Amino acid sequence: MSQLPGIGKRTALRLVLHLLKQPKEQTGFLSQALLNMREDIKFCRSCHNISDTTVCEICANSGRNHQTICVVEDIRDVMAIENTGQYKGIYHVLGGKISPIEGVGPGQLNISSLVEKVKSGKVIEIIFALSSTMEGDTTNFYIYKQIAESEIVISTIARGISVGDELEYADEITLGRSILHRVPFEKTFKNN
Ligand SMILES: [Zn+2]
């Protein structure tokens, strides 16, 4: 229990004591629900978003702009951006950020499938929407280096969101605006 994010030893103990007080079948239901979640939930073959079908609802929607791809860290970011109702393109979920401290290298993230998509020539714009932390910037730049040669627009969401804020916690209006007023990625590291 204490290995779950945000749950320290004390909370873990409280949860365990709670479960022990419940009828035994209650724990059975919970265990089964957790197993079902792992069994049933798949990841979209195309964008790696969470999905109960091989291709997620967003990728399968022909009304969306499939030539614009918003690159995000995880599915919480997809949810946050979808909630703004301002974005009509599709996504690419990396599954994390490059973080040498946490031992996460580019090979563990969904980067090569993104580079392949760009090289397929079907993409017009890539929008980086990772949090503006050092790991986020490192990841953006790593991907940028691999796709910079392609003749596509590479942009980043406008930083109405202050440094260190996670997209998940940004308010919908600010986040929606930062997507609409995105800036060329090169401007964020050149000329200064
Ligand atoms: Zn998808």
Q: For 72-84, what is each residue's pLDDT tens digit? A: 999 999 998 999 8
180: tokens are: 């609409």
In this structure, the answer to whether residues 32 and 82 fall within a common structural domain is no
Cβ-contact 150, 93 below 8 angstroms: no
- CATH for 151: 3.40.1360.10
119 and 149 in a common domain: yes
- Between CA 186 and CA 110, with CA 115 as vertex, the angle to 5 degrees is 110
Same domain, 94 and 155: yes
User: pLDDT per residue over 31-79, tens digit each?
Assistant: 999 999 888 888 999 999 999 889 999 999 999 999 999 999 999 999 9
Structural domain span for residue 89: 61-188
Residue 116 lies in a domain: yes
pLDDT digits (tens, 9 = 90+) for 120-176: 999 999 999 998 888 999 999 999 999 999 999 999 987 655 544 566 556 777 788
Q: Give distance in angstroms: CA of 97 to centre of ligand 1.
A: 19
Using CA atoms, how far apart are residues 179 and 135, in angstroms rounded to an integer? 20
Angle, CA 42 vertex, CA 155 and CA 32 arms, to 5°:
135
Compute the distance from residue 59 Cα to the ligand 1 centre, in Å.
4
**Confidence at 5, pLDDT banded by 50, 70, 90:** confident
Tell me phi and psi for residue 93, to 5 degrees. -95, 115
Position 15 in a domain: yes
Q: Provide the number of structural domains found in the chain.
A: 2
The 3-state DSSP class for residue 123 equals: coil
pLDDT value, residue 188? 77
Å from CA of 131 to ligand 1 middle: 21
Q: Specify if 82 maps to a domain.
A: yes
